[in-house]
Amino acid sequence: MAWFCSANTNHGLVNNLKKAGIFQFERVEKAMKATDRGKYVKYDPYRDSPQQIGYGATISAPHMHAHALENLAPFLRPGMKVLDVGCGSGYLTACLAEMVGPEGKVVGIDHIPQLVKLATDNVKNDRPELLESLRVEFILGDGRKGYPEEAPYDCIHVGAAAEKMPQDLIDQLKSPGRIFIPVGSNSQYIYQIDKDSDGNVTKKSLMGVMYVPLTDAQKQLRGE
């Protein structure tokens, strides 16, 4: 049903995602309604499909963003810290920041300078207070290695498919904490990686997907 959630407005899109049962948490609904996707995507922003944003990157379909927020919601409580790997347009980074509240922080990281600028400009246009308060910070870097300067994180979202489980990201996760990540090349699945309070790690496959690869900057720009 998710692919039929398209609408003409941001509120209509979020309402359709809710009706389709993609999310249950009211906080997810509030975050997605507070962050107008139309300020992050040039064309058909309320269409429930991935959209090209340039430089070999895409913004995920709204239903996948809703799945991510719903899955990570227990680790997106006020005051928590989040890493958003492959921040792209900055849309999901802003949604995550809405959920962790004024005392929380979200670090968005991307290895393409133009995408870091795009994300910064988009959030500045939509929610400038998130940048001014440092509730959101965008970093240029290789997200496959995480961002140890701000670690550990309560949760980590990864917006591109890793070839294998990313140990660097697992190492930067709090105990307890959770990662939402697509893994695989030809066959991809979303994995929920949990670290419990004793540091034990479990991995659970959630659904089959198709994401762009989590690769190095030059390969991405060449479309590899």
Q: What is the pTM assigned to this prediction?
A: 0.92
* Average pLDDT score over residue span 46-62: 91
According to the model, what pLDDT value does residue 219 have? 55
Q: Please state, for a pLDDT cut of 70, what percent of the chain lies above it.
A: 92
pLDDT tens-digit readout, 62-118: 999 999 999 999 999 999 999 999 999 999 999 999 999 999 999 999 999 999 999
Residue 55 pLDDT level (bands cut at 50, 70, 90): confident
According to the model, what pLDDT value does residue 210 have? 75
* Average pLDDT score over residue span 189-197: 95
Average pLDDT of the residues of the chain: 92
According to the model, what pLDDT value does residue 85 have? 96
Name the helix (H) or strand (E) containing 192: strand 188-195
- Residues whose CB is less than 8 angstroms from the CB of residue 130 and which lie 6 or more positions away in sequence, other chains included: 94, 97, 123, 136
In DSSP terms, which residues pair with 153 in a beta bridge? Answer: 173
Pairing of strands 51-54, 153-158: unpaired
According to the model, what pLDDT value does residue 181 have? 93
According to the model, what pLDDT value does residue 215 have? 61
Residue 163 pLDDT level (bands cut at 50, 70, 90): confident
- 1, pLDDT greater than 50: no
pLDDT tens-digit readout, 39-48: 999 889 999 9
Q: Which amino acid is at 136?
A: V
Q: Please state, for a pLDDT cut of 90, what percent of the chain lies above it.
A: 79
Name the helix (H) or strand (E) containing 125: helix 113-126
- 224, pLDDT greater than 50: no
Angle at Cα 142 formed by Cα 76 and Cα 144, nearest 5°? 60
Q: Which are the catalytic amino acids?
A: 60
Half-sphere exposure of 182 (CA within 13 A, CB side): 24
* Average pLDDT score over residue span 187-199: 94
According to the model, what pLDDT value does residue 214 have? 63
Task: Give the separation between CA 99 and CA 93, rounded to whole angstroms.
Answer: 10
According to the model, what pLDDT value does residue 112 have? 92
Phi, then psi, of 96 in degrees rounded to 5 = -60, -40
What is the rounded end-to-end Cα distance, in angstroms, of the chain?
Answer: 31
SS3 145: helix
